[in-house]
Amino acid sequence: MIVVMKSNSSEADIEHVLTYLEKHGLTGHPSQGVERTVIGVLGAVGPTGAPGSIGGINPTLGETLEGLPAVEQVIRVSKPYKLASREFHPEATIVDIEVPCVSGGIVGIGGSEVVMMAGPCTVETEKQLMTTAEAVRKEGAVILRGGAFKPSTSPYGFRGLGEDGLKLLAKARAEFGMAIITEVMTPADVPMVCEYADILQIGTRNMQNYMLLDEVGRTRKPAVLKRGMSATIEEWLLAAEYILSQGNRNVILCERGIRTFEKTTRNTMDISAIPLIKQLSHLPIISDPSQGTGRRDLVTPMTLASIAAGTDALLIEVHPNPDEALKDGAQSLTIEQFRDLMPRAHAVTQAIGRTLITE
């Protein structure tokens, strides 16, 4: 349920509705729009302290709320996700990231600009990370990716450098002024990863790790939530709802390919998810064509297609020597290939009336 306040409603009016909801065992999540404030209403409180489903709401409550003088309208949200829905928040959410290397020092994800995030799949060595960071920055990437904690399908695969990897990422940030995105895999690691990262990445294998979602939700760090490899759009938005309902509004969704019967590619890149998410949700949506295809020859075309479809940012794997990469070499672009991709990405971005932010 969403309570739409009248455009002239005051702080006290909003407070009044919030108190009223509280008295009925509900939680109100206000969101201030340009025109008016809307309040998302969530129901029963779950055992972990998180607001739960809408299930427990008294059916006549909507009518009572609608009778309050400062309330314009009460909308019943048909979708199971509430705070993530467009109905709750008609304007697009822009997640601001501090990026020292751009003028103004802030990059907004979800606005008119398209943002390039690039770097190695995995932080391997200082030299590998610094070489990649320098090269991708030179071509216009403003956010550096690199995993220090790696989810590995096989227990014998490389699991990452851990905190040492985070320290290398911090070093690259200091040197090149790029923001850092890196994966966090367990609730216990959230505080440590937050110290080093500008954006937390929640991997496809953890999209439904609800304890992790809760913990990330308790921070205010921007978080990229990858789509589970077998997740429906609705399950994905419900996972986002976990983070949002804990109070962290800085959620960014990431399409990274889904599992289908097709074997030629590692995953099937669901480009349609990009405009679909824009319809269903106010949250920014970004695209990872590297995991999305698993093949470096397909990364550039899927990057261009994602931009055309409306992606707010790209997450691309680049390695100075992909054949020697400890992980995901087959899908990592060489530095030369990334250099070739950027002008094309600029051209498509311009063609749809957006700008690829590089400085």
Residues that bind Mn ion (CB under 5 A): 121, 328
In whole angstroms, the minimum distance from the beta carbon of 315 to ligand PEP comes to 7
Q: Alpha-carbon distance 312 to 300, whole Å?
A: 16
**Token pair of 265, please?**
């590619």
Scan residues 10-29 and list those touching ligand PEP (CB under 6 A). Answer: none
Q: Judged by CB, which is closer to ligand PEP: 82, or 226?
A: 226
By beta-carbon proximity to ligand PEP, the closer residue of 204 and 281 is 204
Nearest distance in Å: CB 121, ligand PEP: 4
CB of 146 to ligand PEP, least distance (A): 9
* Residue from the set 43, 51, 203, 222 that interacts with ligand PEP by CB under 6 A: 203
Residue 62 or 160: the one with the smaller Cβ distance to ligand PEP is 160
Query: Least distance from C-beta 201 to ligand PEP, angstroms?
Result: 7
Shortest Å, Cβ 324 to Mn ion: 15
160 binds ligand PEP (CB under 6 A): no
Instruction: Judge whether 227 and 291 are in contact, CB under 8 Å.
Output: no
Q: Would you count residue 147 as binding ligand PEP (CB under 6 A)?
A: yes
Is residue 332 involved in binding ligand PEP (CB under 6 A)? Answer: no
CB of 40 to ligand PEP, least distance (A): 29
If binding means CB under 6 A, how many residues of this protein chain bind ligand PEP?
9
Q: How far is the CB of 328 from Mn ion (least distance, A)?
A: 4
Q: Minimal CB distance to Mn ion: which residue?
A: 121
Residue 4 forms beta bridges with which residues? 38, 73
**How far is it between the farthest Cα atoms of the chain?**
67
Contacts with ligand PEP, 255-284, as mask; x by CB under 6 A: -x----------------------------
Q: Secondary structure of the chain in the HEC alphabet?
A: CEEEECCCCCHHHHHHHHHHHHHCCCEEEEEECCCCEEEEEECCECCCCCECCCCCCCCCHHHHHHCCCCEEEEECCCCCCCCCECCCCCCCCCEEEECCCCCCCEEEECCCEEEEEEECCECCCHHHHHHHHHHHHHHCCCEEECECCCCCCCCCCCCCCCHHHHHHHHHHHHHHCCEEEEECCCHHHHHHHHHHCCEEEECHHHCCCHHHHHHHHHCCCCEEEECCCCCCHHHHHHHHHHHHHCCCCCEEEEECCECCCCCCCCCECCCCHHHHHHHHECCCEEECHHHHHCCHHHHHHHHHHHHHHCCCEEEEEECCCHHHCCCCHHHCECHHHHHHHHHHHHHHHHHCCCEEECC
Could you tell me the smallest distance in angstroms from the CB atom of residue 278 to ligand PEP? Answer: 20
Count of C-beta atoms within a 10 Å radius of residue 161: 22
C-alpha span between 203 and 185 (Å, rounded): 8
Contacted by 296, from Mn ion, ligand PEP, none: CB < 5 to 8 Å by type: none
Binders in 52-71 for ligand PEP, by CB under 6 A: none
Place of tokens 């990330």: 216
**Binding flag, residue 319, ligand PEP (CB under 6 A):** no
226, 249, 282, 296: residue in contact with ligand PEP (rule CB under 6 A): 226
Residue 65 contact among ligand PEP, Mn ion, none, beta carbon within 5 to 8 Å by kind: none
Which residues, numbered 74-133, are part of the site for ligand PEP (CB under 6 A)? 121
Using CB under 6 A, pick the residue from 31, 93, 219, 291 that binds ligand PEP: 291
Sequence length of the chain is 359
C-beta nearest to ligand PEP: residue: 203
* Cβ distance to Mn ion smaller for residue 48 or 152: 152
What are the residues binding ligand PEP (CB under 6 A)? 121, 147, 151, 203-204, 226, 256, 288, 291
